[in-house]
A and B are shown apart, each in its own frame.
Chain A
């Protein structure tokens, strides 16, 4: 049996699913092309592993979306909305690993002063430098992530989907790494053995920062922290407004809001249950996004010590 998702987001969920499948198809083709030209270049091998790793957010997003539609079971009575939070953690770990790997490789190459050999190859009877093929492959690897990443960002914002947002960040990391790779191979071509590592090192810092931010948000979400803004460690503005609205409605009560996947769950502590509360009417923000507010619970006086 499948659970109905809020009708306001059905179209965007379908779009997110399509984007994830497109990502997997394009990234698989990029991984194949990179494997064909990577040769003995460590930088290209790293780019190849990164391209493999960059498929993780799209895979876990599809898995989480499948679970999101499942009805609660006797073993999972709260349903599976939180699979999304778990998927977010996995994506954040993948992004952070990608940044850390890239940084490690860059520093390692610089310390060991490795002079990368990029030999020539024979292709259709022509004797050409493998670096040109690597550059062509890297340029190809830049285009799909650049387009897909930009398509994902507005959908991720509308769905408040951290996994899709991390996926978009991963795509940004992909195209930036690809361009750094082109600069690196050209640098090797000009006899600057360190160019590749320096370019990769600079890019890796930005990727690592995005990965660590995503890890902090994912950890906060799993630890029932106050909901964070998309891709930022600060409290989400709609969650902050909801807290204010609930505090105004029940003065003197303690209000707690947490996030389960893309949904906000609120607790009003120190007051009895209130029958007939309309969650949509309580939502302080854009009515189009009132689907975010999915649950309100009351903790009566005398049971609100924790």
Chain B
């Protein structure tokens, strides 16, 4: 009686250690294809070293190379919400209309432009909890604060 219980507990522990997984399979795809799709918001912050350090850490953690494109924040965030991108980096307003549709990771830095707080941060597709877990860990390793 004890052995099946121990086996079940071990199986459960192994399964749980791999949680959370992504409903859209982002992390699995990134590691399998060794490529992740990144959008960088066109602005002076695009050259910020912390954003590129984050990209390098994510690439090292997944063994994948970033495929980068630049565009306006609105267009990139819409595509992120629709699953066409895996990550968007740049400078964002603290409370933008997109905050309901994407997941903002802890900010790498905060700026104040004309009295409005902006964040140097990364955004991830909503609900991709395994992928978000990895990105969050790498951002925090660079000193990001929620």
Contacts and interface: CB of A to CB of B under 8 A. Distances in A.
A119 B129 contact: yes
A190 B126 contact: no
A131 B103 CA distance: 16
B22, B24, B127, most chain A CB atoms within 10 A: B127
Interface in A176-204: 186, 188-193
B20 A129 contact: yes
Interface string A132-159: 0000000000000000000000000000
A18 interface: no
A118 interface: yes
Contacts of A115: 23-24, 126-128
B98 to A, nearest CB: 13
Given A115-B126, A129-B129, A189 B19 contact: yes
A30 B29 CA distance: 39
B103 to A, nearest CB: 5
Contacts of A192: 23
Interface stretch (B38-46, B66-74, B132-140): B132-140
A263 B128 CA distance: 57
A283 to B, nearest CB: 54
Interface size class of A (residues with CB under 8 A): 10 to 19
Contact of B21 (A114, A119, A120, A189): A189
A120 B129 CA distance: 8
A191 B137 contact: no
Contacts, number: 58
A86 to B, nearest CB: 41
Nearest to A40: B103
A296 interface: no
B63 interface: no
Interface in B98-115: 103
Nearest to A189: B19
Interface in B61-94: none
Contacts of B24: 115
A116 interface: yes
A29 interface: no
A306 B20 CA distance: 68
A191 B20 contact: yes
A119 B19 contact: no
Nearest to A121: B146
Interface of A: 114-120, 122, 127, 129, 131, 186, 188-193
Given A117-B129, A189-B129, 18 more contacts: A114-B127, A115-B23, A115-B128, A116-B126, A117-B103, A119-B103, A120-B133, A120-B136, A120-B137, A127-B140, A131-B20, A188-B20, A188-B127, A188-B129, A189-B19, A190-B20, A191-B130, A193-B127
20 contacts: A116-B126, A117-B126, A117-B127, A119-B129, A119-B132, A127-B136, A127-B137, A129-B129, A129-B133, A131-B20, A188-B129, A189-B16, A189-B20, A189-B129, A190-B21, A191-B20, A191-B129, A191-B130, A193-B23, A193-B127
